Amino acid sequence: MELSSVLLGKSGLRVSNACLGTMTFGTEWGYGATAEESKLLFERFLAMGGNFFDTANRYTEGSSERILGALIREFSVRDEVVVATKFSLRSGEGKPNDGGNHRKNMLQSLHGSLQRLGTDYVDVFYLHAWDFSIDPEELMFNLNMLVQSGKVLHIALSDVPAWVFSACMSIARERHYALPVALQGEYSLLTRDMERDMIPAAAHYQVPVLAWGTLAGGAFSGKYLKGGSGRVPENSLRRSDRANALTQTVVQEAEKLGVEPICLALAWTLKAPGHVIPIVGARNASQLEQTLQAMHLDIPTEVLSALDAASAIPYGFPHDFLRGDLIRQLQFGAQHPQFPLPGLYRQSL
C-alpha cells in the first residue's frame, strides 16, 4: 500500500498525503515507542512513500525531535523528507520566558529544535497554540523574520481560533510576508468543531488542514468497549457515553465493510471540504500500515451517512441562521434552491 504525493497548499512543497506524527517517539510520558520501535515505524513509513513528519519541541521532553533527527541522519534522507516542528509550549520548568508566542521563546525554541534534530533548517515551523498575548501583526512579523533567516522554509499555524488564522493570512498577503502553508487542529468523528469556521477558512484560503486526533487516541479501535486498557483515561471525553455510542457505530459500520474501525474513522476525516492531511501516530509498524489503508478506502454513501448522523454537531449562529430556508428565501426569493451554498459545510441542516 503506497501513499501518494500532494502539494502542501500553495507552497509548492511536495508531501505525502498522510503525515507521521512522532509524539510517541520516546517513552518519557509513560507510553510510546522506544528508539528501536521508532526506527521500525520510520522505516516502514518511508517504504510506503511517506516523507512528511510532525514533531514539536515539547513532545516526549525533546526525545521526539532527537530520535527523529537521528533517524533522518541514519537513513540519509534529509533532502527527501519534510520535517514540521512547533514552538509555544514550554520545554522546562521555572523559566518565565520558556513558553508562549513571543519572539524570545520563538527563537530559543527554534534553536533548541534545530539542535535536537541535528539540522540547519526546518521545512515547516508551526505556532503550536495561540496564547492570546500578542497581536497577529507581531506574530507574522516574527515568523517572516525566521523565513528570511533561512532557518525556516515555511510557516504554519496550529490550534488557533479561525479569526486568528484569517487575520494572519490577510496580514501576510498585505505585507508580502511568508504565508502560512497549513492549519493544524483536532478533527475526528468525535471532535467536529473545526467544521464551523476553521475548515471553511482553510478552504477559502486554499490551505490544507493537518488533522490530529483523528483516531481519538485509539478509542475508535473499540478496545475500550471490550474493557481494554490504553493511554486514554476513563474520565476522558474520548470515553464518554457519547464517545462510546459513536465508537459502537464506527465498529458496526466497519464490520459491514470488512475493515478495521480505525481505518474507517480515519477515512471519514478525508471527506471534509477542502484538503485534509491526517497526522497519524502508531505504536508499531504493523498498526501504522493497517491504519493507512484508510487512504485508499472508498466509503459507501450509506455508511458515510450513518457516520455523519451519529457524529452530527450543531453549527450554531450564524451558520444555521444563514443556511436556513427563511433567510435564503428573503435573499434569493422562491428560486433560492437554484443558488446552492458553497461546499464549505460538511453536513446540511
Report phi then psi at 299, rounded to 5.
Answer: -80, 125
In three-state secondary structure terms, 209 is strand
31 is catalytic: no
Q: How many residues does the chain have?
A: 349
In three-state secondary structure terms, 324 is coil
DSSP string covering 66-114: HHHHHHHHHTT-TTT-EEEEEESS-SSSS-TTSSSSSHHHHHHHHHHHH
| C-alpha of 188 from chain center | 10
In three-state secondary structure terms, 203 is helix
> On the CB side of 255, how many CA atoms lie within 13 Å of its CA?
7
Q: Which of 267, 57, 276 is nearest to 183 (CA)?
A: 276
Task: Write down the residue that cell numbers 484538503 correspond to.
Answer: 275
- Nine cell digits for residue 113: 529544535
Which one of the listed residues 59, 126, 205, 224 is annotated catalytic?
59
**Largest separation between any pair of C-alpha atoms in the chain:** 66
Please tell me the distance from the alpha carbon of residue 275 to that of residue 222, in angstroms, as a whole number: 27
Peptide bond just before 314 cis, omega within 30 deg: no
Cβ distance 19 to 277 under 8 Å?
A: yes
Please tell me the distance from the alpha carbon of residue 279 to that of residue 294, in angstroms, as a whole number: 12
Question: Active-site positions?
Answer: 59
